Amino acid sequence: MKTSVVMRAVAVVAIGLAMSGCVMNRNRVYEPIREGLDAMKGRDVAVVYRTLGLPDRKETVGKKMMFVWNKTRCDVLVQTDLQGMVEESTLVGGPRACKWVRAAMVDFKAREAAKD
């Protein structure tokens, strides 16, 4: 009886550790991306071009422009006003697919830190 209780407790702890590892891995990928995209708000879309390269798609909808970067099942969407100032951005994709964006944002943050 005691053995089964101990085994269940070990199983619960193992599952918890495995799940926290997944969360930590996701945070390691997504956190620099979110920080980089947030730092680009209010700046010219050229900053995003220098970081991610030329967009795969650009559309004007009303008084907004939408830019889309799409690679390996990871999309970065950036919305600007008609003057090209970044207003909003979002990321759609899994941690593995979005590693290219993470690498670009880490580089962007390093370049920004070097300016200071």
Structure tokens at 67: 């830019």
Q: What is the per-residue pLDDT for 112?
A: 92
Own/partner pairs, 21-28, CB within 8 angstroms, 24+ separation: 25/95, 26/95
The pLDDT confidence band at residue 20, using thresholds 50, 70 and 90, is: very low
Q: What is the per-residue pLDDT for 107?
A: 95
Q: What is the per-residue pLDDT for 25?
A: 54
- Residues 6 or more apart in contact with residue 64 via CB below 8 angstroms: 79, 80, 81, 82, 87
- Residues 6 or more apart in contact with residue 92 via CB below 8 angstroms: 74, 75, 77
Q: What is the per-residue pLDDT for 29?
A: 82
Whole-model pTM: value is: 0.75
Identify whether the C-beta of residue 45 lies closer than 8 Å to the C-beta of residue 85. Answer: yes
49-101, pLDDT tens digit by residue?
Answer: 999 999 999 999 999 999 999 998 999 999 999 999 999 999 999 988 999 99
Domains in the chain (CATH in brackets) are 2-115 (3.30.1450.10)
The pLDDT confidence band at residue 8, using thresholds 50, 70 and 90, is: low
Identify whether the C-beta of residue 53 lies closer than 8 Å to the C-beta of residue 67. Answer: no
87-114, pLDDT tens digit by residue?
Answer: 999 999 998 899 999 999 999 999 999 9
